[in-house]
Amino acid sequence: MPSIFDLYRKHIGQIKGCTVIRLHGLDRKSVEKQTGKDWSEVISQKDKDLERLAGMLADLRSRDVQSFLYVNNHFEGSAPRTIVRIKEFLEN
């Protein structure tokens, strides 16, 4: 599957009104092995991706595009903690 950032760049002109973004992990089995199915900690920080995502969300907001972001535990190991991290990137 192509990167969300590549897709966004390619289709930016078509994204209007409302969009949904969902962050999946690349290797579900590996993440589950690392977490032991305890989803309380980030085990694979993706700071570069979160920084790019914050920029993308800021761009969407500036264009009045209502955005819904869903985060899967498999993205970094803990969806709730990833959401906190995304908020921090958005505030900076």
Residue 26: which of 4, 41, 9, 8 has the closest Cα?
A: 4
Structure tokens at 65: 């595009």
The whole-angstrom separation of Cα 59 and Cα 37 is 34
pLDDT tens, residue by residue, 28-53? 888 888 999 899 999 999 999 999 99
Tokens encoding 59: 């761009």
The conformational region for residue 27 under phi > 0 = left, psi -120 to 50 = alpha, else beta, is beta
Give 55-75 pLDDT, tens digit per residue. 999 999 999 999 999 999 999
